[in-house]
Amino acid sequence: MKVLIPTPLRSYTRQREVDAAGLTMAELLADLDRRYPGIRFRMIDEQDRMRRHVRFFVNGEQVFDLTRPLKPSDDIAIVQALSGG
């Protein structure tokens, strides 16, 4: 499935959109990390929770659970909030 990568994480993928596979969000993120080592840690913390500044969308709907089932036809968007002073 297609995964839209936010600009702050493109140093890992070098692309705006990449392919990944998985039956759940957790599996999809594991596949992304296999293809682009280190990217998962930027989105998921040490307790296996989604980081506060990262949002995941499946077909335009925000996802809050890593066990969310996925279909091969789903479109995934990862959005990373930016902060500043």
Domain residue ranges in the chain: 2-80
Q: Does domain 2-80 fall into CATH 3.10.20.30?
A: yes
Is 43's pLDDT higher than 90? Answer: yes
Query: pLDDT band at 23, cuts 50/70/90?
Result: very high
Q: What is the pLDDT of residue 81?
A: 81
Is 82's pLDDT higher than 80? Answer: no
DSSP string for residues in 48-83: S-B-TTEEEEETTEEE--TT-B--TT-EEEEEE---
| Mean of the per-residue pLDDT values of the chain | 94
Is 85's pLDDT higher than 60? Answer: no
